[in-house]
Amino acid sequence: MDIGLEKGIERTEEITVGEKDLATVLGSGSVGVFSTPSMIALMERTSLLLVQQYLPEGHTTVGIEVSVKHIRATPQGMKVSCRSKLVGVDGNKLSFELEASDERGRIGEGSHVRYIVETDRFVKKAKEG
């Protein structure tokens, strides 16, 4: 599928760390700080939103791989931003470079792979097993 996606496009999304984002609430840790699963979700969402506007009607992307390092803790109430950069386009396979920062600096980095799919067909296939 050639949809004209070009390497180098970027998007940044920002959230404020709330109670629902804490490791203690998600069960991923015993300290009330921004959880790694929440950071990964922000990274995936930022990547999805980066490319969604370029996709044809009825198409979306699904994440298939995430590799991240969570390098510093962020307390509840602090803002976190994520920058996603499209670094590879190989047919339906999209590769992203990721960086997350809070108000004090970088807190995470990594890479992510998503595939472009036809939404209805993907859901039907998932239900059929």
Confidence at residue 2, expressed as pLDDT on a 0 to 100 scale: 60
**CA R_g for the chain:** 16
Q: What is the DSSP annotation of 25-51?
A: HHTS-SSSBB-HHHHHHHHHHHHHHHH
Pairing of strands 79-90, 59-70: unpaired
- Quote the tokens at residue 36: 């790694």
Confidence at residue 50, expressed as pLDDT on a 0 to 100 scale: 98
Q: Looking at the domain 10-128, which fold is it?
A: Thiol Ester Dehydrase; Chain A (3.10.129)
Domain ranges of the chain: 10-128
Q: Residue 116: how many CB atoms within 10 A of its CB?
A: 20
| Mean pLDDT per 10-residue section of the chain, whose length is 129 residues | 83 98 96 98 98 95 98 98 97 97 98 97 93
In this prediction the pTM is 0.95
